[in-house]
Amino acid sequence: MTYVVNGRSFDEEPGPGQCLRTFLRSLGHTGVKKGCDAGDCGACTVWLDGAPVHSCITPAFRAENHEVTTIEGLGPPGQLHPMQRQFREAPGFQCGFCTAGMIMTSATFTETQKADLPRALKGNLCRCTGYRAIEDAVKGVTGVETAAPGKAVGTSVGAPAGDDVVTGRAEFTMDTDVEGLLHLKVVHSPHAHARIVSIDKTAALAVPGVHRVYTWEDVPRRRFSTAIHTDHLVDPDDTYILDDTVRFVGQRVAAVVADTVGAAEEGCRRVEVEYEELPAVFDPEAAMADGAPQLHSTDDPFVRDSVRNILLEIHSHIGDVDAGFAEADVIHEGTYSSPRVQHAHLETHGSIAWVENGRLNVRTSSQSPSIAKVKLAHLFALRPDQLRVFCKRVGGGFGGKQEVISEDLAALAALDTGRPVCFEYTREEEFTTASPRHPMKLTVRLGAKADGTLTAVQVRNVSNTGAYGNHGGETLYAGGAAIMIYRCPNKKFDGFSVYTNTVPSGALRGYGMTQPAFAVESAMDELARALHLDPLELRRRNIVRPGDPLVAMHDGPDDVMFNENGLGQCVDLVAHALARAVNEPPPGAGWLVGSGVASSLHETAPPTEHLSEAWVTLGDDLVYELAIGTVEFGEGTSTAHVQIAANQLGTTPSRIRLVQSDTDRTGFDTGAFASAGLFVAGNAVLRAANAVRDRILEFAATHTGVHVVMCSLGDGEVVCGDQHVPLAELVALARARGIRFTAARKAYGSPRSVVSNTQGFKIAVHQVTGEIRILYSVQATDAAVVINPAQVRGQVEGGVAQGIGFALTENYQVDAGGAMANPNLRNYRIPTYADVPRTELLLVKSADSFGPMGAKGMAECCINPVAPALANALHDATGVRYRALPLTPERIYSRLKENRSIRTA
């Protein structure tokens, strides 16, 4: 069979039933991505005779004798297609995993289609951008700027990988061709709780191409936690690579390694497992009751109370809440529920492992290769020098890749077989076995005097950590920031992180704060209405102010400083924005209109130890090499790091060569999560760049005989008084004397500051269908000194989009047996272009006391106030309070139908 791909002919025979996506990738066209293999996301879009198609649902044989164009053939570097240039210059991407498909679709648009992007882009999903940047790219709006030497900070320079992303050359985890690669697939438990009686591998091993079948008896019997933190003691070691007891539907039971994916999948189908089913419990309140089925044994040293299935229990108070409620004029109490939410990063989890020269190499989609290395060394009893873990570009994370969940099995098989092994999650496995956001039920009780002064705050939080603890404890602690935002002498917090027979929960953007923020900010809105106060005014009267102690669960000393009035400015900016926003009339008959606000505080680094080390070296080619362990997965830290280095070294970003996320080539880095990629790693880059600059200046001062204070580093030269000395001359002189201009510096996540956000919405709600339309969206944030304005805008827009999904569209449905009932993008429903409004971004003018160049990392926190602001707007429109998410049309309509006092449009 003959195929023409990007103008080149191939005489190849696809496999029976093979889709065009996998066939094209086998020919080396790795710009064609896998996001779903179901025709839902568009990451695999190519042209077939000039028309865009989803190659994952297009049989390969249908392309015979047709012209196929992939992103690589659309326009190579130096000859970019106009749409590729527009995506680079907007910039129209963050992680870049969806970008090839977006470009291939958008490059075919007529002017009519460009005018109706909600319809034209309905087949392409993006989880990062919030779509505004993509709209700008399609319409040719340019946002990328050129930075002058030493003036990179504050400029919207483009990403270092921009050209590679828009041409499909950027390497993601699976974009490599490894000779002799084996494929690993997993047998998953059909039961929520069961003991494995026996496993028969015979039939599986008889499948042609199958090499190994691993069970719990074949793996190291070492406990670990899949969660990633520098301080591993904050997470429970309650997990085995494979176990003889399964605790949720989807848990790994066995792993099959074969020559092909198909053979491995067939081997999985033929593994015979005998289970003894055990009683299961799915509700955390029921799990804490006497007599509930126990998930972990009573001798497990890592479980706080195994009899009651409690991983962690917190009871703390400040002042006397009983006295506070006694002096209150108004008391409000409500219970608020938030569901599981999946990260839905378009690149699924995956790892490729191989042994080379006696060393284990793991190429993985992790947010922290450094700690993944530590965990693998522990599991397989390896010395650090026997192991390398590294990442290429990662296709989204949002906390989902702050886990070690694919690396262990790939490493096990590579060490055993001596051959390279690939383990790549399917989209269904992402939904059923990866770690979603913790479902939480929070009861909030607030007391206030008639003037709105808070007298007591009490919160009870029951968090469902699922079958294993990974991030269960830390997310429970993190939720305290929801009550830290308000001044009150009497606070009480009771928290429970509870094991249930459901998929283990994990880290997701907002990290334990998103759910409590929904509860507390909804409760504050209800309290304001009970007091007959404007909700914004109630916040103004009670928010913490500069110099106030940030008190949540205790009043002891900590390392968090609150020195700026960012929160107050955010509240005021959103109030003014909502007041000046055009009051659009309802879209038609039957619509109700309302507005809502919510605020949030978030710490700029996690409370657990966070460390990053940066290396900067001036090479003989006069290019500065910046080596940093931080992974790039769309949060923009790579661009920010290059800008910081260029700024301090008096040069342009083009003269910074970035080496990153490779434990062989970079120093230790805790990981890119909790916005620490900017706040901590950015400080390491700043210090290393400053150290190299100072060394160059000291050498130049000695060489010229001019005092060092009279010397300055420029782009390609050092100016000492009235002498201009080329850098090339200084490098040659230094080299002759055995001197290198290089430095390593570390930074730690302490002391910490806080980021403030306020979100506002105006919405319309249809009282018959329950549909919500967002008429206006605004968020104010105190990002302090902005390193890259375009990236800050993109992070906020992306966070708001994810918050809208959390609040309105995403629905993780679990059946009576504990299994997810809708494990695909189409039925889970992350927001599409049509679901996301343009959000006005308002920046507070401030400078952070501890962040690099006065900047704050703020990508984590922008999601937190979104859901409560929408819920508050919904109440303002309908007069009905909704205390459970998501706010689906069915749920809205049913409550509106029950309520007889609805305002009419």
**pLDDT over 90 at 774, yes or no:** yes
Weakest-pLDDT range from 171-175, 752-756, 898-902: 898-902
Q: Give pLDDT, residue 685.
A: 98
Query: What is the band of 554 on the pLDDT scale with cuts at 50, 70, 90?
Result: confident
Per the CB < 8 A criterion, the answer to whether 15 and 33 are in contact is no
Q: Give pLDDT, residue 904.
A: 37
97 vs 127: CA distance, rounded Å? 10
102 vs 115: CA distance, rounded Å? 16
The pLDDT tens digits for 666-694 are 999 999 998 899 999 999 999 999 999 99
Q: Give pLDDT, residue 300.
A: 64
Beta-sheet strand order (sheet of 440-448):
310-318, 491-499, 454-466, 440-448, 330-338
Q: Give pLDDT, residue 557.
A: 83
DSSP H helix total and E strand total for the chain: 28, 31
- Nearest residue to 339 (alpha-carbon basis) of 774, 773, 805: 805
**pLDDT over 50 at 795, yes or no:** yes
Q: Give pLDDT, residue 561.
A: 83
The pLDDT tens digits for 471-486 are 999 999 998 888 999 9
The dihedral of CA 624, 625, 629, 631: what is its sign? positive
**pLDDT over 90 at 488, yes or no:** yes
Query: What is the band of 889 on the pLDDT scale with cuts at 50, 70, 90?
Result: very high
**For residue 326, what are the contacts with CB-CB under 8 A and spacing of at least 6?**
none
* Residue 508 one-letter amino acid: L
Per the CB < 8 A criterion, the answer to whether 874 and 882 are in contact is yes
**pLDDT over 80 at 331, yes or no:** yes
Query: What is the band of 902 on the pLDDT scale with cuts at 50, 70, 90?
Result: very low
The pLDDT tens digits for 846-865 are 888 899 999 998 889 999 99
| For residues 727-740, average pLDDT | 97
**pLDDT over 80 at 787, yes or no:** yes
Roughly how many angstroms between the first and final C-alpha of the chain, as a whole number?
63
| For residues 351-373, average pLDDT | 98
Burial per residue of 465-503, b for 16 or more beta-carbon CB atoms within 10 angstroms, e otherwise: bbbbbbbbbbbbbbbbbbbbbbbbbbbbbebbbbbbbbb
The pLDDT tens digits for 738-760 are 999 999 999 999 999 999 999 99
| For residues 71-84, average pLDDT | 94
900 vs 877: CA distance, rounded Å? 14
Q: Give pLDDT, residue 903.
A: 45
| For residues 276-297, average pLDDT | 96
Per the CB < 8 A criterion, the answer to whether 762 and 775 are in contact is yes
166 vs 98: CA distance, rounded Å? 10
Cβ atoms within 10 Å, residue 36:
25
Please state, for a pLDDT cut of 90, what percent of the chain lies above it. 90
Write 31-34 long-range contacts (CB < 8 A, 24+): 31/70, 31/71, 31/72, 31/100, 31/167, 31/168, 31/169, 32/70, 32/71, 32/100, 32/168, 33/97, 33/98, 33/100, 33/101, 33/172, 33/346, 33/347, 33/395, 34/174, 34/348, 34/424
Q: Give pLDDT, residue 301.
A: 65
Q: Assign 410 to helix, strand or coil.
A: helix
Cα dihedral value 632, 636, 639, 643, nearest 10: -130
**pLDDT over 80 at 827, yes or no:** yes
pTM (predicted TM-score)? 0.96
| For residues 366-382, average pLDDT | 98
**Structure tokens, 742:** 């290089």
Please state, for a pLDDT cut of 70, what percent of the chain lies above it. 98
**pLDDT over 60 at 227, yes or no:** yes
- Integer angstrom CA distances of residue 666 from 540, 637, 658, 686, 693: 46, 15, 11, 16, 20
242 vs 214: CA distance, rounded Å? 9
504 or 583, greater pLDDT: 504
| For residues 90-99, average pLDDT | 98
Cβ atoms within 10 Å, residue 578:
18
Q: What are the beta bridge partners of residue 752?
A: 560
Weakest-pLDDT range from 112-116, 553-557, 708-712, 783-787: 553-557
Q: Give pLDDT, residue 430.
A: 98
Write 116-121 long-range contacts (CB < 8 A, 24+): 117/833, 118/832, 118/833, 118/834, 119/834, 121/832, 121/833
| For residues 694-699, average pLDDT | 98
Per the CB < 8 A criterion, the answer to whether 443 and 459 are in contact is yes
The average confidence (pLDDT) of the chain is 95
DSSP for 147-163, written as a single string: PPTT--TTS-PPPTTHH
Q: Give pLDDT, residue 495.
A: 97
**For residue 101, what are the contacts with CB-CB under 8 A and spacing of at least 6?**
33, 35, 41, 42, 43, 44, 45, 124
